[in-house]
Structure 1
């Protein structure tokens, strides 16, 4: 914990990120996690020839060429570009690379080698607008990112940042000369547009995200000059630094020159334009056009070809098969240590597939350059087909508190289901009805850990009882609890009768974008049927699942439980924060609207919401931090607002044999850090 705190003590005094080289120095917390959680299975796999977890090895991001020189002594003397871009320059269609880059580009030290230009990265998707992470994460750029210790924020889009001594103000400096993909300048104008025309505009954003608030008030935007601005909060909010690091949606940047025409304050004819384009109102039009700039979920929601971006690839078109084509961003703001503008590859392809099974088969056939969603149950098959498929299989450590958690809808619109799901005894019964050992063996080859939805063991606020709470397989106890709550009568098929005298049915609709989730959901449905609670399982498209989940229309939405120390503090993970998860949409509305909408949560939950507000006001070195965080998780776990299955599994990645600078065996894989993003995909290259 002490090592985690060092950063926050430093940034309170002075921002020294520009001079940092983020090497692997303070790894005690993560080594402890890797050893205690994964050594038991990694020692039994062939991927570690010497039987040891490899030292963490990641590419390094420097804020500027000067910070790279300060750290290494080397000077970048010139900038180079891809041959395809050089041709456009020679034809007068693009300005020279030195004019396209910012005055001080970010510098990437590649993982292994300086790359060669060329080739196309390819990855799969099973739904049009969600969870094509193998494509989305190749492009994502956040205001700040994490260093190689997974703890220390470093500049990314921003050239620098500083947290004030009173912890209330964060000052960010953009890169002078940085441009959008269409060549237009990126300045504080784009931040001001976001703040005044979107975030603080009640017509567009009636209830701003709580991460933009502190002390009950919306953050204040202060313009310093064309490249420097401040976020000023009413009360201390050091956690917002990590918010800027954890999720792209908090860049606070939107292309004013592109989005203005969709906003009535900038275009008096916006309402007519909305009707022409098929939208009900200019607000709905604006929000749809803005989606690709918001959260990771919507990063694939492009409507307009070549809409401006600051990411590494530009969306060009979508073909009749749903495949999306991206090409290199000629104005991308990063170079390697030799001055070569990144990315190395010419483009990116999103390949639509019909389902998870086909997605996996195409991975085995070698259709992708990279595939991060391999099924552990197919690990042997992957290894057997490496040569014929032209890929290698890497096994990474998934820092995920739980693979699939089930959150019963305690705010259900059906009063009968609300009563049943709101009874703690029911949630306890459903938890102990699960055979987690069987899930582990059948779905995860026995390599995961049966555990409750809870923090990972390396988190400072983790207690051993948390992972073990009501995880024993005990159908006898499940039946006893169900009988006690009045569901002791059964219909002619042996299923339990609900409080209304009718067969009680759980309508389990799940999105399941990962193969293992689908198999796990099938087993869980069986276990609940076995204790007499009829469970009808239906798989739906992920985007439909998300819509119904967010609207509170599902009985028991299931999703992963991703939590790690610092990002939890930032408030970007809805599932781990009070009022807890995806089964309490009305409670969330009440909290988000300061009581104007939704349903008031129980006092115990409200108290934890207040505790979380306290948590965001203090730094990690404060003795209260661990105490408060523990209380927050205790409330969630003891009430089983999220019911876990297994966690901390290894994750197979399939990587084309000629893809260079990709992840190595034993590295951390985590949604918290946006998986591929931490490996800086812009430095991947194809040795063709």
Structure 2
């Protein structure tokens, strides 16, 4: 990586020279009919006054896609109200984002400049506006950092890790009316990737709107009235509720996303309508998004696949899994839908995660013994699971990066995955678990039979199907497996309390990383990590809660992660990634099973520009996000 780099919108798309496209052609043809009434009434200005002076121009023809036309409603199904966050993820409007090849490009920003990986200069598009028509200005950036992240009441733990270097927040400067700068004394390689993430680092907020809920700017009497109006216990709770961007439950909150929520919760149906000030246009000057409206209908997660197969969704991936494929493919004969299969980007579709912070005094040291973890991995017949559950279409692998990543190495994928019950038995004998009961189960040091309870979120029959096969495999080495499903929230809280000895979840989220993406998923760095929740909580809280890791290999992973955060070149980061992947797979901190599995994506036969094949995951693709759903459009039935 160069010490200094400048990235302009030209990398992302082709910009019209000199002046905005809106002035180059008749605007009449480029106004969405959906906005006609608002335009006639004067509630909205014309397109030329809604777009930035230099909008982001998406050249669909150059991308091998078809320029579209305005209109239509897309229906989709969600499992609960919280899933409206999918509109933020899939809408994928970011200050800086990834393209389909995971190159980092300016999006909301017109350009960005990085010097020494520690000085970041951002240029705002002139004339860019929030969805309510208020200007996007440097004040919105300053407010987010100084009045929210650095406010001790609103951010009790202080700024997130990506905003700290050596514990210090950035220096912030307003360079000119369109330029802001963040700088640290040392490199911060995590800063830009976090801005491009599915759950992006919040760096800009609509200050004009939100200041009415902030005690620094609002009259105390009026603020008290707002707290009563919105039934908030204090001003902090009020501001947090009204400012939530990732799960956009406040319809009044201005947004920069392609669609804005129009529905107050609680509700069974949420309607998102086009943002009339969205900053992207196609090569013909038509403002994106093409689709006018998304309607999200809440449904029981258990019947989303059935409803999708009955033609009740126009674009669906949530609530679908590979076992649904045959049913959905058959539904193509009866309804105007098409089933696509995208490759999931997880390190393992399902992984067994031994809880190294387990509270059981006997199981805790056993789970921390790498020989036990290796034995459990060697006992699993991954080929049988692949054939029985995934029709042989998956890849038997440890929980590691995929071949699509430049960091992939075959030895990581092959670490401790050979089906070798004899070696597994030998490792367990070596540990000292040599005595067995009348049922052939090994006895623990306290005389109990070796029974491992694997807890799941209970959201997928896939988990049960795989665990039933693993139960037979482990029985052959004298270990009993029992499955305990529970609700996701209960499941996670039990793990943090040490009440879970092992869980089943997916493997590492981002298995297609580049060296410049953070390797934090390989080290104890978040309390959500089920194999070491207390160590993760300790890291994320800067030692205020949780426990410091005391397993040498885990300590080394944390040390390497800190080194990555101080690194200044891609080559250094690649070396650190490889060191961490080597430790993570050799130590079997996550027992991977298969990866490269396929995700059904169901779409209306009318939907255009949706790729037939693509990568699918939370990070870094943001599910549909990097494929730009604002460019999807509805044609005639295909």
Please say if 1:86 is aligned against 2:36: yes
**Structure 1 residue 235: Cα displacement:** 0.6
Instruction: Determine the structure 2 residue equivalent to 1:192.
Output: 142
Q: Does 2:536 correspond to 1:588?
A: yes
Alpha-carbon separation, structure 2, partners of 1:199 and 1:510: 35
Q: Is the 8 A contact 1:18 1:62 kept in 2?
A: yes
Q: Confirm or deny that 1:608 pairs with 2:549.
A: no
Deviations 1:249-273 (A, max 9, x none): 2241122233334433334465785
C-alpha distance in 1 between matches for 2:91 and 2:497: 29
- The answer for the alignment partner of 2:575 in structure 1 is 627
- Structure 2 matches for 1:10-49, cutoff 5 A? 12-20=3-11
Contact 1:63 1:155 in 2 (8 A): no
Q: Does 1:149 align with 2:101?
A: yes
Secondary structure at 2:295 match in 1 = strand
Partner residue of 1:407? 353
Which residue pairs with 1:569 in the alignment? 516
Cα distance per residue 1:527-565 (max 9 Å; x no partner)? 446655444423344455455556766433422323345
Structure 1 residues 398 and 687: alpha-carbon distance in aligned structure 2, compared to 1, 3 A threshold: same
* Pairing 1:365–2:365 present: no
1:158 to partner: Cα distance: 0.9
Distance 2:384 2:135 in 1: 56
Q: Which residue matches 1:203? A: 153
Is the CA contact 2:22–2:47 (under 8 Å) kept in the aligned structure 1?
Answer: no
Q: 1:176 aligns with which of 115, 122, 126?
A: 126
Map 1:297-336 → 2, pairs under 5 A: 299=246, 301-317=247-263, 322-336=268-282
Q: Map residues 298-447 of structure 1 onto 2, 5 A cutoff.
A: 299=246, 301-317=247-263, 322-356=268-302, 358-372=303-317, 374-447=320-393
Structure 1 residue 467: deviation in Å? 1.0
The one of 37, 40, 52 aligned to 1:102 = 52
Q: CA–CA distance in 1 between the matches of 2:253 and 2:461?
A: 33
Q: Cα 1:488–1:124, aligned 2, differ >3 Å: closer, same or farther?
A: farther
Q: Does 1:236 align with 2:194?
A: no
Moved more, 604-613 or 678-687: 604-613
Match of 1:30 in 2: none
Q: Distance in 1 between matches of 2:238 and 2:498?
A: 24
In 2, Cα distance between the equivalents of 1:201 and 1:507?
43
Structure 2 residue aligned with 1:52: none
Which residue in 2 is equivalent to 1:674? 622
- Structure 2 residue 602 is the aligned partner of structure 1 residue 651: no
Cα RMSD over matched residues? 3.3
Structure 1 contact 506–533 (Cα < 8 Å) conserved: yes
**Bigger Cα displacement from structure 2, 181-190 vs 580-589:** 580-589
**2: CA distance between counterparts of 1:161 and 1:396?**
32
Judged with a 3 Å threshold, the aligned counterparts in structure 2 of structure 1 residues 68 and 442 are, in CA distance, closer, same or farther, namely: farther
Matched, 1:213 2:164: yes
Give the deviation of 1:597 after TM superposition. Answer: 3.4
2:611 and 2:496 map into 1 onto residues whose CA distance is: 34
1:662 corresponds to: 610
Equivalent residue, structure 2, for 1:45: none
CA distance in 2, matches of 1:160, 1:190: 17
Shift of 1:680: 0.5
Instruction: After TM superposition, give the deviation of residue 378 of structure 1 in Å.
Output: 4.0
Q: Say whether the 8 Å CA contact 1:188–1:229 is kept in structure 2.
A: yes
Asked if the contact 2:50/2:277 (under 8 Å) is kept, the reply is yes
Q: Distance in 1 between matches of 2:18 and 2:418?
A: 53
3-state SS of paired residue (2:306): helix
Aligned residue pairs: how many? 622
How many angstroms apart in 1 are the aligned matches of 2:373 and 2:307? 39
Q: Which runs of 5+ in 1 are unaligned?
A: 1-7, 21-60, 294-298
Checking the alignment, whether the CA contact within 8 Å between 2:523 and 2:554 is kept in structure 1 is: no
Farther-moved stretch of structure 1 (118-127 vs 447-456) = 118-127
Unaligned stretches of 5+ residues in structure 2: none
CA distance in 2, matches of 1:131, 1:552: 31
Task: Go from structure 1 to structure 2 and tell me whether the alpha carbon gap of 1:182 and 1:525 turns closer, same or farther (over 3 Å shift).
Answer: farther
Q: SS at 1:222's partner residue?
A: strand
Match of 1:283 among 226, 236, 246: 236
Q: Secondary structure at the match of 2:196?
A: helix
Q: How far 1:336 moved relative to its partner?
A: 1.4
Aligned residue among 203, 206, 209 for 1:258: 209
Quick one: structure 1 residues 396 and 108, their matched pair in 2 at CA, closer, same or farther if it must change by over 3 Å?
A: same
Question: What is the distance in 1 between the residues matched to 2:144 and 2:500?
Answer: 33
The alpha-carbon distance between structure 1 residues 355 and 147, as it changes in their structure 2 partners (threshold 3 A), is closer
Distance 1:125 1:136, change over 3 A: farther
Cα distance, 1:517 vs structure 2: 4.5
1:222 is displaced (CA, Å) by 2.0
**8 A Cα contact 1:313 1:327, kept in partner:** yes
Q: Secondary structure at the match of 1:389?
A: coil
Tell me the TM-score normalized by structure 2: 0.87
Residue 171 of structure 1 and its aligned partner are, at CA, apart by 0.5
The TM-score with structure 1 as length reference comes to 0.81
Residue of structure 1 aligned with 2:506, choices 559, 566, 569? 559
Counterpart of 2:113 in structure 1 is 162
TM superposition shift of 1:669: 3.0
Deviations 1:51-109 (A, max 9, x none): xxxxxxxxxx427444999xxx9995354221120221102222222222222221122
